[in-house]
Structure 1
Amino acid sequence: MQAAIPPSPSSQGWSRAFQDLPREHGFEPLRVEGTIPAELRGTLYRNGPSLFSSFGESYRHWFDGDGAVSAVRLEGGKAEGAVRLVQTQELVAERAAGRRLYANYCMPHPGSLLGRIGQMRSKNVANTSVMVWNDRLFALYEAGIPVELSMEDLSTIGETTFDGLLSAAFSAHPHRIPSRRASYNFGMRFGRHTLLDLFELRDDGGARRIASLPLPGPTLLHDFIATERHLIFFVSPVRLRVMRQLLGVGTVGENFVWRPELGTEVLVVPLDEPERPFRFQVDPFFQWHFANAFEQGESIVVDLVRYPDFETNLWLGDRVRGGSGREARGTFHRAIVDPRRSVLRMEERWSESCEFPRVAPSATGKPYRFAWLGAHAPGSRRDLYDQLARLDVESGEARRVELPAGHYPSEPIFVHKAGSAAEDDGWILTLVYDARAHQSHLAILDSKRLDDGPIARAYFDHHVPFTFHGGWLGAK
């Protein structure tokens, strides 16, 4: 654990992004500066924690916040925006009761110690990402069931189990494999044994569980990555202290502990034989997110943001309290996995602090060159990500996009220009929080003219709390 350093002065600006969403609304016109390309037609959906207290009690971690989905719809050079809280069953019940009823990631169950015993279930805050599948929109949270939303105005329709397919959680990070015309995802079931359920959601609307695999223990598994033939998981040595959780001692976030002596398990699942995975142990590391992966002979290339340990959990919790002395320590790495020989080789490709990696849709699951990331400017690792970066994953050279002071971008989303599949020929979309104006806007950048900065901005008349993940749905 590194020594604490006083918060930087700039943290006082971005910390206002963690104030509650001031109002909800359906689609309404947004003020536009610059020129939105006429060919850019579709909707950007984003999801993130947007309530940071419950009945006068402040949440303790970024992950605790109740989710809100925002959307910016572009058509004919104009922009409309909408944002609404996801009305989960738990949020509705709490508001009806006028008090907090459930445990969150770092919020204890509000009942007596005796009443907490046996309480493993936390609130579904639906705050992490979105998925559009079968012309339906869902808010996702890895410890809960998907919540369907109206694509017309983002109002909540309700939880879905996909006709009984889901019995427990469904991760917030599904990955589509275009050649298989299907998306894949996972969920975890905690019990006497921890099980990893693997799901296939076909483009034609069919859904099924393709395997249930044992995990080495009750762990935290946030994301995975897919190639045309494999699903790849890096199971870090984070373990839940189940007995403490069952006895009501501590919270889920507090009861996840780093056990480096256990190592990280590499789990490679062949999609044609999902019940026969390759699995082996390597030295410990942690990751939240993957950038991309592809086949290379008998090996698999996997790109990710790697952390040396689980202290990132504390850094994330500090965001809702305006920062701390901890620094973000995730950097971009390339792993070469040889599943048949049980070998993993890893090297750092960019040493700067970064997160939320994305690639162009045409590059998914294939050899590629560019990753798009949120990044820290030098010396700002204790704050929110304040830059975007385009990383050449082959050379390790990065091109930074410097935004005006006090502007904090979200995960960059790449949208191809009409008729082009080149991974550096498109638009970069990011939802930006402007700390000075206490306001949020969609920024649109030309991927070939990054030095020009945003070519257009579409402004909400209020701030949208900083979002985690989202996606683009092009107009039909």
Structure 2
Amino acid sequence: MRGDDNGSAAILVLVVVDDSVDIIMIIKIRDEMDALRMALLVSPPDTALILCLQLDLDITKEGIRPRCGLHGLAICRHRVRGPIPTKDGTHECSVSFAPSLSSVMPVNAYRSATFFPLPNTVPPHLAIYTDGHDLTGITTLIITVPVDGTSLIAETCNIMQAFPVHRLQPLPPSTKLLPLPTTASAHRTIPFVSSAAASSPSTSQLAGSATAPDSPTAAFWDYQLLFASQRSETAEPVLLRVAHGSVPVDFPRGTYYLAGPGIFSDDHGSTVNPLDGHGYLRAFDFRGSSDEVWYSARYVATPAQREEREAATGRWRFTHRGPFSVLRGGRRVGNLKVMKNVANTSVLKWGPRLMCLWEGGDPYEIDPASLDTVGLVDLVGSDHGDRRQTDGGSRGRAVDVAAHFLKPILRGVFKMPPKRLLAHYKIDAKRNRLLMVSCNSEDMLLPRSTFTFYEFDYNYELKQKKEFVIPDHLMIHDWAFTDSHYVLLGNRIKLDIPGSLLAVSGLHPMISALAVNPSQPSTPIYVLPRFSQSPNQDRNWLVPIQAPSQQWALHTGNAFEERDGNGNLKIQLQASVCSYQWLNFHKMFGYNWRTEKLDPSFMNLVDGSEAMLPHLIQVSIELDANGTCYGCSMANLSNIWNRPADFPAINPYFSGQKNTYVYVGSSSGTRRFLPRFPFDSIVKLDLSNGSAKSWSTGDRMFVGEPIFVPKGTEEDDGYVLVVEYAVAKQMCYLVILDARRIGEAEAVVAKLEVPKHLTFPIGFHGFWSTK
């Protein structure tokens, strides 16, 4: 296809990936252009969407428009009849166009094209742009792809780069297939990476040069693919293939549930922070018969999810904002709507109920057999139980007045529940109780924090309820308990008044109303009495214990207490923390809501800054018989392992009791351009001697949160489950580790393969339910 001397022209190079077609542009340019962005989208097997650049285009920063209205962008269906190898090692592919399916105009050019054969690792979504470089004088740009799909190469000049957006997988008949759009979706361009990363040897050298995973481009692609949307669901459980080893004969019968987001980009140009993606529940069912493990996955059918996914077509249109995202363009009216409860953070199976939880609202009950959504569960709506309130003087009364006016606004206009459950819960195995915590919704904007603790038996009968009003503005994501106390590591925040106005107006995410408050050099720790008969009742629980280091608490592994013969109490707590200076509400997971881009550099600081990133600590608190604190220390959990780490897990039977082992996700640091996150290792920490043993996955593979599955009475007698994300192959595996052999070559006892068309993005938190 040719344009005139002043125009732009393009031909298409078609790349077969599995049974679908990928498209790479070979662009001939005769004038300067500042930006060229195109999304190339692949459809289900043997059909694809083709984005074709027509003749005589003006390409500017504002976009692409045809001259004289004669030509434009055409999107057509086509069927591949090939590929056919040729003598010179390339392939030819016959393409038949169906003019009646063109979304703009019929296209009858290019009955065949020559292309380079590629494996199935090439992401089908590409965004190509020039980042403002001057292209004057360049006559030809030939863009090719290395054999492993790690980067695009611009021969002749080093100015163009391509990155994946969110993949839309073709699905086999065995799964529930959502209808796919018949036009290309608008996707956001991924941030530009240095042209040095795009430069590459000639085509003959591609196989050798592209195999190394340690490059800026490979790192960027891998990070994006970890958050690739999965739109499909299983209609029936799918039997997983055993890719390595075998499921141990003594592996307990039960189900591993994993919660997390499933979609990050809709079909109309909006993207969201991973924390705002709709909940996508995954279930791995161990039925106790040989190697059979069955996999299921369903979206949590919240009202927002049902509204944002069109039932007839399966297309998505985001209409509600989340706490960390805003909508763009004509969808901005959604920024004034109620924040959606996406039920994507954690999952719990307790008694007869399976529930998915989110930080900002009530949990959703799920049918354990089908994963169908039953509906909202109001566990904390009642107002009975033991209540402890305090009089904060004139300041406290002023806050009460402010709360009085805030409540009808938050509940009436923004539809917030009076109390919002934290997504993190605890199970007291000793007493067989479920422990949960709620916060008052209005306290998000007030200089106080109201925490209400609930304890349920196995039938959800409320055994006790205790409320604590703390005169400090805190944000709590996770917490801990002991035999006689609840323990909170306080994260100090403050109201951001300009940000609040922008948030309420819909111009900024709701999280803009809050800001981290690093005004104090310490970490407040609240040791709250769990029972009315708890020891140290004379202690003023409103006065926090000040840990000597300022840290932002992320997740807790466990806490326990020991009392000596004199009544002195020692509490030890294991947790993951990070620096106030690193934490940024506007860049969670590296997502910038202003640019709608995921930037892995935020999670991978330069050398010398590891202490700012998530890492593990042990807090020791010493109280005398009267409850007076005479010692508080905060130290690294291990003197040997000091790499960034998070998601601490223990044997659940030892929760609230003295434990020796903690299992965490961590980074081996072997990748130069992703040295700290995503994690690629599981580490077993021995608290008795500070030792650490680790297992690491392979190149271009990541892991999520570990879950301990006990099989005996000893603390480390069991298995560790973790999902391995093989982003280079766009595959997921459930890995079974022998907890006692972590650190040895035989640590992996089995690896189960999730079908490629069901590959899912990284999950958040999981739960093991023994049958």
Note if contact 2:669-2:676 (Cα within 8 Å) is conserved in structure 1.
no
Alpha-carbon separation, structure 1, partners of 2:736 and 2:248: 9
Does 1:199 find its partner at 2:454? yes
User: Which among 517, 541, 544 is matched to residue 277 of structure 1?
Assistant: 541
What per-residue deviation string (whole Å, max 9, x for no partner) do you get for residues 84-114 of structure 1? 1111122212335974332202213779999
User: Which among 553, 577, 580 is matched to residue 309 of structure 1?
Assistant: 580
Please name the residue that 2:698 is paired with: 404
- Tell me the amino acid that sits aligned with residue 426 of structure 1: G
User: Which among 611, 631, 635 is matched to residue 347 of structure 1?
Assistant: 635
Note if contact 1:240-1:252 (Cα within 8 Å) is conserved in structure 2.
no
Alpha-carbon separation, structure 2, partners of 1:421 and 1:209: 29
- Tell me the amino acid that sits aligned with residue 94 of structure 1: E
- Tell me the amino acid that sits aligned with residue 268 of structure 1: V
* Shift in CA distance, 315/12, structure 1 to aligned 2, threshold 3 Å: same
1:50 deviates by: 1.1
User: Which among 12, 26, 31 is matched to residue 241 of structure 2?
Assistant: 31
Note if contact 1:353-1:381 (Cα within 8 Å) is conserved in structure 2.
no
Alpha-carbon separation, structure 2, partners of 1:18 and 1:201: 35
**After superposition, where does 1:172-321 map in structure 2 within 5 Å?**
172-191=423-442, 194-207=449-462, 210-241=465-496, 243-244=500-501, 245-248=503-506, 250-262=508-520, 263-273=522-532, 277=541, 279-280=543-544, 282=546, 283-297=549-563, 298-309=569-580, 311-313=582-584, 316-318=588-590, 321=598
* Shift in CA distance, 446/114, structure 1 to aligned 2, threshold 3 Å: closer
What per-residue deviation string (whole Å, max 9, x for no partner) do you get for residues 100-149 of structure 1? 332202213779999967x7x52111111101122210001111210011
* Shift in CA distance, 375/116, structure 1 to aligned 2, threshold 3 Å: closer
Note if contact 2:420-2:441 (Cα within 8 Å) is conserved in structure 1.
no
Is the partner of 1:158 in helix, strand or coil? Answer: strand
Is the partner of 2:248 in helix, strand or coil? Answer: coil
Note if contact 2:223-2:600 (Cα within 8 Å) is conserved in structure 1.
no
* Shift in CA distance, 281/240, structure 1 to aligned 2, threshold 3 Å: farther
Alpha-carbon separation, structure 2, partners of 1:155 and 1:322: 34
User: Which among 461, 465, 473 is matched to residue 761 of structure 2?
Assistant: 465
* Shift in CA distance, 115/153, structure 1 to aligned 2, threshold 3 Å: closer
- Consecutive unaligned residues in structure 2, runs of 5 or more: 1-192, 195-214, 383-416, 564-568, 592-596, 605-609
Does 1:88 find its partner at 2:346? no
What per-residue deviation string (whole Å, max 9, x for no partner) do you get for residues 152-181 of structure 1? 121111111038448431111110112222
Alpha-carbon separation, structure 1, partners of 2:371 and 2:247: 23
1:234 deviates by: 1.0
User: Which among 224, 229, 238 is matched to residue 20 of structure 1?
Assistant: 229
Is the partner of 1:13 in helix, strand or coil? Answer: helix
Alpha-carbon separation, structure 2, partners of 1:344 and 1:57: 51
- Tell me the amino acid that sits aligned with residue 233 of structure 1: L
Please name the residue that 1:68 is paired with: 280
1:404 deviates by: 1.6
Note if contact 1:433-1:440 (Cα within 8 Å) is conserved in structure 2.
yes
Q: Is 54-63 or 359-368 further displaced after alignment?
A: 54-63
1:239 deviates by: 3.0
Note if contact 2:279-2:344 (Cα within 8 Å) is conserved in structure 1.
yes
Note if contact 2:270-2:318 (Cα within 8 Å) is conserved in structure 1.
no
Alpha-carbon separation, structure 1, partners of 2:602 and 2:317: 33
Note if contact 2:429-2:654 (Cα within 8 Å) is conserved in structure 1.
no
Please name the residue that 1:49 is paired with: 261
Note if contact 1:147-1:159 (Cα within 8 Å) is conserved in structure 2.
yes
Does 1:424 find its partner at 2:711? no
Alpha-carbon separation, structure 1, partners of 2:335 and 2:222: 38
Does 1:108 find its partner at 2:326? yes
- Tell me the amino acid that sits aligned with residue 582 of structure 2: E
- Tell me the amino acid that sits aligned with residue 56 of structure 1: H
Note if contact 1:219-1:240 (Cα within 8 Å) is conserved in structure 2.
no
Is the partner of 1:179 in helix, strand or coil? Answer: coil
Higher relative contact order (CA 8 A, sep 6+): 1
Alpha-carbon separation, structure 2, partners of 1:305 and 1:412: 14
Please name the residue that 2:668 is paired with: 377
Normalized per residue, which structure has more strand? 1
RMSD in angstroms over aligned alpha carbons? Answer: 2.8
Q: Is 213-222 or 331-340 further displaced after alignment?
A: 213-222
1:195 deviates by: 2.1
* Shift in CA distance, 28/410, structure 1 to aligned 2, threshold 3 Å: same
- Tell me the amino acid that sits aligned with residue 227 of structure 2: F
Note if contact 1:180-1:228 (Cα within 8 Å) is conserved in structure 2.
no
- Tell me the amino acid that sits aligned with residue 508 of structure 2: G
Is the partner of 1:92 in helix, strand or coil? Answer: helix
- Tell me the amino acid that sits aligned with residue 32 of structure 1: V
TM-score after normalising by structure 1: 0.90
Alpha-carbon separation, structure 2, partners of 1:152 and 1:112: 37
User: Which among 113, 136, 147 is matched to residue 353 of structure 2?
Assistant: 136
* Shift in CA distance, 396/252, structure 1 to aligned 2, threshold 3 Å: farther
Alpha-carbon separation, structure 2, partners of 1:112 and 1:71: 34
Note if contact 1:142-1:187 (Cα within 8 Å) is conserved in structure 2.
no
Q: Percent identity?
A: 23
Alpha-carbon separation, structure 2, partners of 1:295 and 1:217: 26
* Shift in CA distance, 115/101, structure 1 to aligned 2, threshold 3 Å: closer
- Consecutive unaligned residues in structure 1, runs of 5 or more: none
Does 1:331 find its partner at 2:621? no
Alpha-carbon separation, structure 1, partners of 2:360 and 2:544: 26
* Shift in CA distance, 281/68, structure 1 to aligned 2, threshold 3 Å: same
1:249 deviates by: 5.1
* Shift in CA distance, 209/238, structure 1 to aligned 2, threshold 3 Å: farther
Alpha-carbon separation, structure 2, partners of 1:293 and 1:163: 25
Alpha-carbon separation, structure 1, partners of 2:690 and 2:560: 18
Q: Is 212-221 or 390-399 further displaced after alignment?
A: 212-221
* Shift in CA distance, 309/226, structure 1 to aligned 2, threshold 3 Å: same
Alpha-carbon separation, structure 2, partners of 1:302 and 1:407: 31
Alpha-carbon separation, structure 1, partners of 2:680 and 2:333: 45
What per-residue deviation string (whole Å, max 9, x for no partner) do you get for residues 43-62 of structure 1? 10000111102343443422
Q: Is 103-112 or 330-339 further displaced after alignment?
A: 103-112
Q: Is 58-67 or 40-49 further displaced after alignment?
A: 58-67
Alpha-carbon separation, structure 2, partners of 1:17 and 1:112: 27
Note if contact 2:736-2:749 (Cα within 8 Å) is conserved in structure 1.
yes
What per-residue deviation string (whole Å, max 9, x for no partner) do you get for residues 207-227 of structure 1? 266123224455421100111
Alpha-carbon separation, structure 1, partners of 2:614 and 2:340: 28
1:68 deviates by: 0.6
